[in-house]
Every structure is written in structure tokens, then in C-alpha cells.
């Protein structure tokens, strides 16, 4: 028997009691009304808890999917100590030498441009405004190029 059923049973006993009422009857009626209010609030909270649990389950599912997708991306990149076919570890410096940091002269967007994205003329295309321009080599990049 749930709380709502027990409260209904007490309400029935009170209603079947003396018709005269009196202070005891008034007290017991007030207690039953308080219990009914608590039961209503309890049902409302259970409903909200159920909704929250469903939302949490949905978020867990999305996080698991994202984790699986991230694992796929990491395996495709083969970074973090995975050896390249020639036997050398892939280093962060190797990745840096393939990218140049540049600023679009048209919209001012700062971005990194991979060497494979440059046109045959050595121009880059801004991902924001599609402006084509020749990336400038910064002194830091020039030092890297002279090293080797």
C-alpha cells in the first residue's frame, strides 16, 4: 500500500468518525491535509526525477557516441607515439612544419593553413571570407625553414 492509499484510508476513518467534530477531529483533518499535500509534492518530484534521469541517459548516450568518434579520429591521425612506416615517431615539430600561421588581409581572421591547401601559386584561401592571398612567412617560420 502506497502513501496515497494510506492517506485515503485515514481520510475514510475520519469521515466515518463522529459527526460532532471537535478539536481532535479538526486536528486529524489538518494532519491528513498536510499528508495529502506531501503526497502530491512527492508525486511531482518523482515525475521531475524521472524526466531528469531520462535526460541524463540521453546525455550519457551522446557522450559515448562522441567518445567513440574521437577514438576513430585519434586512430586515423596515428599520433601519440605511434610509429610511422619508416620507423620514426611522429613528432609535434613535424606537424608544425606543415602548417603556417597566417592572417587574412581582407577580414583579419587568424588561422593555420596546411601546406597541402595552398594553390600551385602558393596562395591560401580564407575559410571565413574566401579571399585568396599569398601567406606571409613570419620570422619564426623563416627560422624553421633555414634549419632544415
**Residue range 94-122, pLDDT digits in tens:** 555 677 888 888 898 888 888 777 888 88
Q: Which pLDDT score, from 0 to 100, does residue 139 have?
A: 44
Domain parsing of the chain, residue ranges: 3-77, 92-147
Dist. CA 70–CA 82, nearest whole Å: 16
**104 to 2, 95, 100, 116, 135: CA distances (angstroms):** 69, 22, 12, 18, 8
Dist. CA 127–CA 111, nearest whole Å: 8
Coil/strand/helix, residue 82: coil
Average pLDDT, the chain: 77
| Contact (Cβ atoms closer than 8 angstroms) between residue 49 and residue 41 | no
Q: What is the mean pLDDT of residues 48-63?
A: 95
pTM above 0.85, yes or no: no
Q: Which pLDDT score, from 0 to 100, does residue 148 have?
A: 43
User: Which residues does 25 contact at the CB level (< 8 Å), separation at least 6?
Assistant: 14, 17, 18
**Residue 124: is its pLDDT beyond 80?**
yes
| Contact (Cβ atoms closer than 8 angstroms) between residue 39 and residue 4 | yes
- The C-alpha torsion from 26 through 30 and 31 to 36, rounded to 10°, is 140
Amino acid at each position: 500500500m502506497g502513501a496515497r492509499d494510506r492517506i485515503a484510508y485515514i481520510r475514510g476513518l475520519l469521515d466515518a468518525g463522529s459527526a460532532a467534530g471537535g478539536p481532535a477531529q479538526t486536528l486529524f483533518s489538518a494532519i491528513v491535509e498536510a499528508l495529502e499535500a506531501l503526497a502530491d509534492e512527492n508525486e511531482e518530484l518523482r515525475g521531475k526525477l524521472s524526466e531528469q534521469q531520462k535526460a541524463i541517459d540521453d546525455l550519457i548516450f551522446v557522450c559515448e557516441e562522441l567518445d567513440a568518434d574521437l577514438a576513430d579520429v585519434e586512430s586515423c591521425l596515428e599520433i601519440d607515439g605511434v610509429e610511422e612506416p619508416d620507423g620514426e615517431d611522429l613528432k609535434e615539430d613535424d606537424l608544425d612544419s606543415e602548417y603556417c600561421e597566417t592572417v587574412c588581409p581582407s577580414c583579419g581572421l587568424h588561422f593555420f593553413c596546411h601546406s597541402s591547401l595552398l594553390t600551385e601559386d602558393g596562395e591560401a584561401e580564407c575559410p571565413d571570407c574566401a579571399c585568396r592571398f599569398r601567406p606571409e612567412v613570419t620570422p619564426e617560420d623563416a627560422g624553421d625553414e633555414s634549419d632544415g
